[in-house]
Structure 1
Amino acid sequence: MRQARLRQARLRQARLRQARLRQARLRQARLRQARLRQARLRQARLRQARLRQARLRQARLRQARLRQARLRQARLRQARLRQARLRQARLRQARLRQARLRQARLRQARLRQARLRQARLRQARLRQARLRQARLRQARLRQARLRQARLRQARLRQARLRQARLRQARLRQARLRQACPRPATATRAPMPRPCHAPPCPPRDAPAGAAPAAAPRSRSSPSDHRSA
């Protein structure tokens, strides 16, 4: 089905496992509860498509065009979305665990309650994106662009934000536990070594004089009585 044209097609509960839909045109198509596991949708056009509750596990969507697409409750675990275009897409309650979104364009996308655990978002463009209540635990956001993005109540635990751009980003009630560019290594200060050298002589003492003896500890009255 390469270069197939399925505009406004309705594929409810369709099973398209390992289907090859490269450069297919699925504009405004409805793929509710469709199963597209391991499907190949490279450079496919899915503008304004509705993929509610669709299963796209391990699907290949490299350079796919998903502008204004609706992926509510869609499952995209381990999906390959490198350089995909998801501008103004709606990914409410979508599951994108271990998904590959390197250099993906998610400008003005809405990711409400989306789960992006261990997702790879290196160099992704998330300008003006809304990530309300999104879960980004252990996500990789190196060199990602999050300018004017809204991360309200988002969870970024153990996320990697090295060289990420967060200019004018809104992090209202966001949880950034253990989120850092690189885990800081705890360096312990060297312990002072005990000095076994004899005490120095006073300044007023003549040269060649013996050093002063250390003061003896006073004995308690109970020691005299015992003697």
Structure 2
Amino acid sequence: MLFAAGFGTRMRELTESRPKPLVPVCGKPLLDHTLDLVHQVSPSRIVANTHYRAPQIAAHLNGSDVLLSHESPDILETGGGLRHALPLLGDGPVFTANTDAIWQGPNPFEVLKDAWQPDKMDALLICIPTESAVGHSGAGDFLLADDGRLSRGPGLIYGGIQITKTDGLKDIDQSAFSLNMLWDQIHSMGKLFGVPYPGKWCDVGSPEGIVQAEALLRSTNV
């Protein structure tokens, strides 16, 4: 599940006429950087949600293997968007991914896939140590216990990609809601886990983030 429906307001004028997933980094749309990583793990199906400037996303993905889950009249946020897309995604655990990050190092989808243990995990989040987060100034989102379980608190940054079971979505009575609501539910059962990412990560949430991401990619190709 690729999240591509948002407004990208922090990008300012760059998203006045196009959706954030189509903003280029090193000449390639952010969405395509994520898709390159997705295709390396060969999921059975790929779904992207759309809302803001949806026809542009649809045109960009026309002829690809990506199915579209359009949200109208209102955007449904990450949790609501995932639930809305379940008829296309099917049953079972799914990857979900934001489409506004650049990675330097191993494929984060592979890192999650290798660490996933469905017998004890309901969600597994890729987490970034603060020293590996390029241009990120926050204190972090989660604390990681020795057994891999996550709890809320300053420490690791959520990198925007996870594997999650979707059963709990049916118990949330809002139409538009954040994945945080699902994580809180999973955490209460002791089944929210994280895995540290061993490379570098750049959140491309602003024009300044583009400059930092392009520098990261150039250093990768040296």
TM-score range, shorter chain: under 0.3
> Relative to total residues, which structure has the larger strand share, 1 or 2?
2
Task: Name which one, 1 or 2, has greater alpha-carbon Rg.
Answer: 1
Q: Which has the higher contact order (CA 8 A, sep 6+)?
A: 2
> Relative to total residues, which structure has the larger helix share, 1 or 2?
2
Question: Please, what TM-score do these two structures have when normalized by structure 2?
Answer: 0.19
Question: Please, what TM-score do these two structures have when normalized by structure 1?
Answer: 0.19
